[in-house]
């Protein structure tokens, strides 16, 4: 079930009404409703893969209890932790990476002149959201091991935490200390919280339907036929893909957070206006925050983080970016994308500028950014957008061919929309979207927080009209991060 479908527009209100009007007196019954709703939500895609979620839930629930049981026996405790890690990584490895390793193994042998005749690859369907819920359950076991949380003995609450439908298939990747803690206590309906949730859903749908989906045909056309386009068009394709993937993924996160608010839950922010980042380090503090913090807490810091020698700190940075790239997909393009970001991040780290913008925004105390800030934002956008050529391309060969044409094929041919639409409305749309995000850059949770009632009503009207104008249920597209 897609967030941008009519089915979800019917599904969510039904769950909301049952949750607050029929089962409001008992939070455990509410959890049961959420769990059943989550399994329906996921099962409508492919019910067979529900068994994977249930298996991961059962395994980590009991392993968490065993890790705590042997708290005084570090050896047994570590053994049970490794059981959780191996189990989840095995699930993820088989469904997501088996064919990648099989094909790479065959290619390696062919590189040395040996041909493997038998086909080792399998026709494997990638379960939607497996990268997200396996990381979420692993974090639970790791947090128990590191004494950050106590294991729950409430299986229903834990199962609901794992399968929570608003963030099940594309995050944010929640930690037990936040979401599970909310699962194990009663919730009271809060009108302001629910109102904020509806507004965030509305804004998320705008990002997905009006921004991402309207740019998708253009991006697809340019990247598919890059061999026929000049440099100017290839630059346009890369830039528009940056806005497409941002609108698509941050739109999903907004809808997930908004849907959770309607049920009385607060999820962590996953995006904080990354397009206004002043260096690559700030970008990763604002983009897919739940994943970057996961890697920082469970890989970077255990490796020593930055509290080691410069050489080891650089090594740690390279590791987390390469792992991040590999997490995104079983393709060398993603690994190269991760390596590119590591190379872009390292100079910022060595110059000691990786945390200077952590708690500030562009134009912190002014209406407009300074010239230096504008140049920093533009440079960061160029670096990130260039890296996305690898992220979007099907292979490294196509990535490098795209880049080669970008720097060598010059002419003044204007790009023509694949459906022969005028391109200027798209440029205006992106510019207006950027300007609006700059205005609201200090609060990602309340996009319509303006003092004037007339301004708010005008914005609601514009957004709703745009949604009706751009929406086509027959052409509703999946979210990009579902493939990860």
Q: What sign does the CA torsion over 113, 117, 120, 121 have?
A: positive
Tokens of 457: 């009503």
For residues 267 and 257, the answer to whether their CB atoms sit within 8 Å is: yes
Geometric angle at alpha carbon 158, from 153 and 160, rounded to 5°? 145
CB 100 within 8 A of CB 146: no
Q: Which of 229, 288, 328, 341 is catalytic?
A: 328
CA 244-379-237 angle, 5° bins: 30
Angle at which helix 231-262 crosses helix 6-17, to 10 degrees, equals: 20
Structure tokens at 334: 């993603």
Residues 6+ apart with CB under 8 A from 15: 33, 34, 37, 263
Find where tokens 């193994």 sit. 105
Cα–Cα distance for residue pair 434/180, rounded to 1 Å: 35
Instruction: Please give the Cα distance from 320 to 314 (Å, whole number).
Output: 10
Residue 288 is a catalytic residue? no
Active site residues: 328
């Amino acid at each position: 079930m897609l967030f941008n479908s009519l089915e979800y527009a019917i599904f969510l209100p039904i769950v909301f009404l049952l949750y607050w009007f029929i089962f409001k007196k008992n939070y455990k019954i509410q959890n049961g409703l959420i769990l059943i709703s989550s399994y329906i939500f996921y099962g409508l895609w492919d019910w067979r893969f529900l068994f994977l979620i249930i298996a991961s839930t059962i395994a980590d629930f009991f392993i968490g209890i065993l890790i705590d049981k042997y708290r005084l026996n570090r050896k047994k405790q570590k053994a049970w932790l490794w059981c959780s890690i191996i189990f989840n990584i095995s699930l993820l490895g088989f469904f997501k990476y088996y064919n990648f390793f099989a094909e790479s193994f065959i290619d390696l042998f062919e590189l040395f002149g040996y041909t493997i005749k038998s086909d080792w690859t399998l026709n494997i369907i990638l379960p939607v959201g497996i990268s997200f819920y396996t990381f979420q359950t692993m974090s639970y076991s790791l947090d128990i091991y590191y004494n950050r949380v106590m294991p729950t003995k409430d299986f229903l609450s834990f199962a609901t935490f794992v399968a929570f439908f608003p963030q099940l298939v594309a995050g944010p990747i929640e930690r037990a200390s936040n979401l599970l803690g909310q699962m194990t206590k009663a919730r009271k309906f809060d009108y302001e919280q629910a109102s904020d949730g509806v507004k965030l859903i509305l804004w998320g749908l705008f990002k997905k339907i009006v921004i991402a989906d309207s740019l998708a045909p253009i991006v697809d056309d340019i990247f598919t036929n890059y061999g026929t386009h000049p440099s100017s068009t290839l630059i346009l394709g890369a830039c528009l893909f940056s806005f497409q993937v941002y609108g698509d993924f941050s739109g999903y996160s907004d809808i997930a957070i908004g849907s959770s608010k309607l049920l009385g839950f607060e999820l962590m922010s996953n995006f904080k206006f990354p397009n206004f980042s002043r260096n690559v380090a700030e970008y990763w503090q604002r983009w897919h925050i739940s994943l970057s913090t996961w890697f920082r807490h469970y890989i970077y810091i255990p490796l020593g983080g930055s509290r080691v020698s410069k050489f080891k700190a650089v090594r740690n940075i390279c590791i987390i970016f390469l792992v991040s790239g590999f997490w995104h997909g079983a393709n060398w393009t993603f690994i190269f994308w991760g390596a590119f970001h590591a190379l872009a991040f390292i100079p910022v780290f060595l110059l000691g500028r990786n945390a200077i913008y952590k708690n500030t925004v562009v134009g912190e105390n002014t209406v407009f950014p300074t010239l230096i800030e504008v140049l920093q934002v533009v440079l960061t956008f160029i670096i990130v957008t260039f890296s996305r050529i690898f992220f979007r391309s099907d292979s490294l060969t196509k990535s490098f061919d795209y880049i080669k044409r970008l720097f060598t094929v010059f002419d003044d041919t204007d790009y023509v929309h694949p459906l022969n639409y005028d391109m200027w409305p798209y440029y205006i749309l992106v510019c207006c979207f950027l300007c609006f995000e700059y205005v609201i850059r200090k609060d990602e949770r309340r996009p319509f927080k303006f003092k004037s009632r007339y301004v708010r009503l005008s914005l609601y009207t514009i957004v709703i009209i745009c949604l009706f104008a751009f929406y086509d249920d027959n052409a509703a597209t999946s979210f990009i991060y579902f493939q990860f």
